Structure 1
């Protein structure tokens, strides 16, 4: 299900992430906007690594 790009753009223009401006958001492509939204809302990018205690070479 693809989110409505214009709603997403408005959300970030009204409240841009730290280090960005509304102007930055206005000039982003749809793919850039979706990527940014994905990474800002991802809980833990390394969640697959849960429970791994160390690095082992066998």
Structure 2
């Protein structure tokens, strides 16, 4: 396993997101764990690009 993925697994097992148990995280695949991390942190990366309403095409 990738050391980065294992660090993420430990991080989320120590402080699991709401609605997910440490046991759930222990049994997640690497892809599921990386997906969860991406979606939990995606707003941080894009905070300054779009307003509160989101992105709209007119």
TM-score, length-normalised on structure 1? Answer: 0.72
Partner residue in 2 for 1:41: 41
- 1:3 Cα offset (Å): 7.1
Gaps of 5+ in 1: none
Alignment of 1:20-35 (within 5 A): 20-35=20-35
SS at match of 2:18: coil
Which runs of structure 1 show a deviation greater than 3 angstroms over 4 or more consecutive aligned residues?
none
Gaps of 5+ in 2: none
- 1:30 Cα offset (Å): 0.2
Deviates more, 1:35-44 or 1:21-30: 35-44
RMSD: 2.4
TM-score, length-normalised on structure 2? Answer: 0.72
> What number of residue pairs does the alignment pair up?
49
Could you say which structure has the higher helix fraction? Answer: 2
* Rg larger for: 1
